Structure 1
């Protein structure tokens, strides 16, 4: 089996352009952009914030650096998943990176759903403006009253009533739903009774964000941070009526759609996490060479040589595992790729957290303050150990795949 992680020559040049824009145009504006969040209404973009973000997006779009996530598609650059991994890693090095190039979660996954499963009307109404970066979207799956890591528990009521479906229930951790530009939700709902097979009871339905009966109850805080203006919202649906034509593929197809959506999304998160680890290691090394204590550079104190070396080696191992998972995805067999995606979904956040934590330690008190991006990066990556399935669920999948090699029994 020939496994290649090589970028084609034309895409190597494209990556260099992305890397250059991130370093020279996006990163210099990060601090100013973040400072704008606390001015006025945290859930609206200030004039300067919008100017920074939309200005960078316009530059990227004009330069043709746009929608890299459209792997194996004539609408994008035709990147393989392996090739996209290198781009996502670079974008992960700055909080603004993914959106500037229109490669943000949850929009990328939602766009894939609209592209694969949406009607022509949905593609015109929602996919086109998402591809253009004109609107944002949210994916509503997790619920407060059930263990949503087992998605067969999803229970939001979705009942057919004439030409409509009527939705009742609550969703939380609806990432991106706080953004004033968020115009559409893709919602996992329960349409079938307990008499159906458990993977045929759920469906996905498209819901305009301004539909009557939708109430945003609160932003969920991550370690005390509300992540405004993006937000992870707790939302209540009360007799929300949606046209029956908004259901995707038909009743009972929710799991089928979810698997098509979540696989790429999981690995994209991991690619960006490796980028965050790289930035943390870079900051750690610069700090170790600039700061002095006890008459020596920090690099020469304690076990800091070993710490830096271990971080470098673990990043390299994580990257190779991520590329291997991406390669399996490129082969087109989702079942074969699944255990590899689960492996990297556990490993990448774990490695990134370790590296970020070591960088925090190198910075001392400054590392946990607002004066470096490390504390914020840590909270985001720690959340990633829960997003798209907690570690325990992915380890279970890895173990089941391993055990199946040695038994015919159901595991």
Structure 2
């Protein structure tokens, strides 16, 4: 029989203890990865955001749910989330997500393209060149967000959602009157109209006009042109996201309602979200709150202005159009006269990707251990994307 000395017993017990300690630490780390709570996530991301704020001289941190996404150098989170960037297909939260996409200063640069689309129509540019323009006005963050959501659900349904009260009460520039507008009655639901995919042109919508007040030819042209710009925006979004369907378009006369819109569309309210730049909606649990798309990178500006110089040369603009565009609000004005030469120039605001701290607040349901690394990539790609989509 082999005799074991006291010293050997001690060494054996020490070795067993070390194995148990290492195993316990490994199990605890694995448990932490599997049960990384939202509270821990916000605490860690706040630490990193304060570091980022000091680095960029940002005086006030945003909502913790924003900070989890805004910090592009989240070293503490990266250490624990490296293995959990994407949600495994068997752990997806949603079968289908319905994304309601805002247009002005959200999907598209500025308000209604800051008169650029209107100027193209005024100067008789073709519908195809209009589409090329709107591809260059499209917000790159929309494609990045759609890609993110496509990794959170089996399918993502896109619906265009814009507040356009002028399609309900039209203040005519051609006579001193306000005209209540009615379209195909089946499209109306309360203070919203739902334009079906079959509506392809502004004329198709105008043909359903059903209000008792007859429209002047100038008013018809104005409304048809405005609808055409919206429908071109819808088509550009469809192409950029490579959708196999034409999205429904919802126009609202008052504050947007995710609840009523989801109900009308027959969508699951728990998986319906609004993507919008309106800061008053930033705390809504069903809203992706983004920074207004009112400035772009220098690369995007260069691509846009090169296109504009070819298709909308300033020296060819009609005087009445120049007067109209110069009369826009300061923040929406896209042309200006050079103070020294007096010549017209395009004026497209830009931002520095290294200094800009974009707002992208996730709805509460999306803040978890799987999404942090993914959203870092989303914002990084957004800040360093020269153009949103280059049409073939």
Taking structure 1 as the reference length, the TM-score comes to 0.25
Taking structure 2 as the reference length, the TM-score comes to 0.25
Return the structure number with greater relative CO, CA threshold 8 A, min gap 6.
2
